[in-house]
Amino acid sequence: MTWKKFNGEILGEDILEEANRVIAREHELGNHLKVCIGTDSQVKGNFIDFATVIVFVREKRGAFMFIHQEKTKEKMAIKTRMLAEVQRSIMVAYDLCPLLERYEIDLEVHADINTNPQFKSNQALHDAMGYILGMGFVFKAKPEAFASSACANKMVQ
pTM score of the predicted model? 0.95
pLDDT of residue 12: 85
d(C-alpha 73, C-alpha 81), whole Å: 12
Q: What is the CA radius of gyration of the chain?
A: 15
Fold observed for domain 4-156: Nucleotidyltransferase; domain 5 (3.30.420)
pLDDT of residue 27: 94
pLDDT of residue 109: 98
Q: Using 50 as the pLDDT threshold, list the residues of the chain that sit under it.
A: none
pLDDT of residue 101: 96
pLDDT of residue 13: 86
Enumerate the domain spans of the chain: 4-156
d(C-alpha 73, C-alpha 87), whole Å: 17
DSSP H or E segment with residue 130: helix 125-134
